[in-house]
Structure 1
């Protein structure tokens, strides 16, 4: 009897999509990404500035293209996006069969992020989102826009224009609800102009491990160590309950009848950063239908080896809400936590992005 692939089982048995939070040329050129699509049932890819910085700085795979691009432009940002667009197109083509199976557009997406330097600039964000969408020129691509306050109108406008959006850097329930409303409003605007909403897809990326990294030391200070490692999972389960509520009712039903798809929740930052916790916990605890989990390569490999696939997402809602209430009672304001993490998150993407641009400058000098 053939062993069941535990990663693939998450989708076949529990209707959750596993995406890979990693991209570089080596994983595509070597055939490893295709192997993960075929054997693990990986159904999409996400990228971010830190991932591209690692790919471009730590290998020579991009050097020849950098030098060639430098002949027509010395702008490192132009060179970077030219490289990234090429990689994203190649990955999107690998996932075309996933995109085209079953319901068209249910999966098979590859995400490319706008510059993190634009995270608080609404106008520049929507301008670059349009530009990247046109240049990549693939239906199964999502442009990543941060769920900051200035990002909300950019998300609404992009959706109204038919651009698939991956909303990134979400840490709190209040902002998540605002993102869903921006998505729904964008669909409504598009429908009001007589355009189709049936081919638009979007995910809302809720970041997990960073929540526990910030909250756990607070719990130690308050002698509440028994609650450590629970805040992120509780917030995610509460977000899922919110998702179920927001994508039901009369307002959503009108869009659903026109062919609109719900904006799925995507669990991000699911690589465990605390060695005290099980390395697969941010996958295992949040398996449930109509959701996505984007995980680093090492986390997917760990789950393939010793993960346990079972439906846990829907069963712990009451406990999750109680946990969030307990955190509030203990003086830990999760909205404050979310705001701090958003600020830190922008910086965590800005730093590698600036480093990446610096690395390209250095390679051009070679």
Structure 2
């Protein structure tokens, strides 16, 4: 049993934030499932850009597709490659899905970042991708934008599992948690089962500290009068923000609204900690795992962070510890004018822009891999 397995036993499921054809074919995912208790996989446009846009791992598959589908659009060529990887990951995780009775064992595939602000297009693409992959342990990733919330409700209502991505603020999280509940309630009204529909709310962590810490460092460099108070919250705002979200989650699942759904078999929408790779070398490389451990949560890790935790991570129930101290950190951040709400609003826009840019690069790279007859 590795420390990653211990993490799962403490209530925080271990997911991998990485997908790559060679890794899958070499049995890398299967090994993580068997040796570390890994129960899920996430992907995004940036990950696929790194996997498909460089090297030749996908060239044979693409050539075969092009031969059968001459003149296919670049987006269709990309989706063919992505869906093959997602299907392979889903097959590897299928025994986990069955063993845990649909409570875990999921792989996520994201809707196009181009439609992040288009509710109807998001709903349509979620249904298209769900049908194309055709695996019960698929989650469709939908951004937690204003347009995303009604898309989440509608998608859940049709029986599709949803991974809500790009959440940074408590307000945005509450909006999508309520959207998830509304989708389940609509299914109940339709007389449909809700016991095998899963969802996670992906709350991004390290990017908040990266942005806030830059503000702090700039003010310290300028000799700010609040230097000591600024130093005291450096590297702590993201964790405090996450703990605040988890406290809200605990209250929500105890509410009459949720308990009515739970009585019909509903699974809670777990908080998933994303962007958990540490960006500042001054911090421990397992910071955003060690501090966010608790029941009904997921931590999706890039391979390097997973290796670090396996080697020297610390397992303890930390999410519910020092909650008053976390509230104090957030109050201090507000008093000091660090503008967490403004930061989180900007990070959503930056996140969509980043994934859009990666998608541009990905499609550009695939477009260049033209069939030989072209």
Fold conserved between structures, TM > 0.5: yes
1:66 equivalent among 49, 62, 66: 62
Contact 1:237 1:316 in 2 (8 A): no
Matching residue of 2:179: 182
The TM-score normalised by the length of structure 1 is 0.97
SS at match of 1:315: coil
Question: In 2, distance between residues paired with 1:193 and 1:32?
Answer: 41
Per-residue deviation, 1:68: 2.4
Once the two structures are superposed, the pairs formed by residues 244-283 of structure 1 within 5 Å of their partners are: 244-283=250-289
Unaligned segments of structure 1, at least 5 residues: none
Question: In 1, distance between residues paired with 2:119 and 2:12?
Answer: 32
Contact 2:233 2:332 in 1 (8 A): no
Per-residue deviation, 1:365: 5.6
1:6 equivalent among 3, 12, 18: 3
Matching residue of 2:166: 169
Once the two structures are superposed, the pairs formed by residues 57-206 of structure 1 within 5 Å of their partners are: 57-71=53-67, 72=69, 73-102=71-100, 104-206=101-203
Question: In 1, distance between residues paired with 2:340 and 2:212?
Answer: 9
Matching residue of 1:44: 40
The TM-score normalised by the length of structure 2 is 0.95
Matched, 1:34 2:30: yes
Question: In 2, distance between residues paired with 1:16 and 1:208?
Answer: 15
Contact 2:213 2:235 in 1 (8 A): yes
Contact 2:159 2:197 in 1 (8 A): yes
SS at match of 1:95: helix
1:23 equivalent among 19, 25, 45: 19
Contact 1:216 1:229 in 2 (8 A): yes
RMSD value, Cα: 1.1
* Aligned residue pairs, count: 361
1:232 equivalent among 238, 241, 244: 238
Post-superposition Cα deviations, 1:200-233, rounded to whole Å, max 9, x if no partner, equal 0000000001000100121221531231110110
Once the two structures are superposed, the pairs formed by residues 261-340 of structure 1 within 5 Å of their partners are: 261-340=267-346
Question: In 2, distance between residues paired with 1:321 and 1:161?
Answer: 38
Contact 2:103 2:196 in 1 (8 A): no
SS at match of 2:321: helix
